[in-house]
Amino acid sequence: MNLKGTSAIVTGGASGLGGATAEALAKEGVKVAIWDLQDDKGHAHAEKIGGAFFKVDVTSEESVGEALKGALAAHGAPSILVNCAGIATGEKTVGKNGPHNLDNFKRTVGVNLFGTFNCIRLVAAEMEKNDPQADGERGVIVNTASVAAFDGQIGQAAYSASKAAVAGMTLPIARDLMSIGVRVNTIAPGIFMTPMMAGMDPKIQEALAAMVPFPKRLGGPEEFASMAIEICRNAYMNGETIRLDGAIRMQPR
């Protein structure tokens, strides 16, 4: 895809992996709409990159619909959707306080899986209206899974289930959308230096970095963004889930 002059939506784009991706897209000449629940950070980052911010609950059809109207009015029909909105929870199936709280499980799957699919289905319907580029391409969607989809650790049943489902629906959605010229791919990041990670004790950060075979460090959000940009550019990349993890394979704990 030729990126310059296109329009993109980045969920969870106020900070972290989504924030880095929104900034990288803007540097490529893409008009970026940030969808996030973080008002202050969202507005500030949108101003920084010359984009637009919309407060969005990705699990709500109404909220996504309203934000999509705003993005269409600001930048026209999107050619790119990057789904980075998500939450991480930790709770054992049976722990000291008894069985896993079912509402916590539902909330994790709701945001990470249902929220991702909600954005895909509504944004893809607008992508269909775009004039095709080379190969008939009208849009590209990049989702975020996790290495936990494949190597879930103790206490990650809900998180792993939600991210495995994102990886699992990548190919069928790519097949669903092939007739309208929209590609779908997923990145499964390993341990990255996100705002949540930055708040941890440096010793914990060092221990996590030591688990990575090579390079022995945490991933940078700009490296996630670089992969997202390449997926957008490379028209032959479709229906794939890509691990971006320094070859890490997570241990049980």
What is the set of active-site residues? 159
DSSP 131-147: PP-GGG--EEEEEE--T
DSSP class of 154: T
Q: Which residue type is seen at 155? A: G
Rg (CA), the chain: 18
Beta-bridged to residue 83, according to DSSP, are 11
Give the pair of three-digit tokens for residue 201. Answer: 């004790």
Q: Are 81 and 141 in contact (CB under 8 A)?
A: yes
184 beta partners: 141
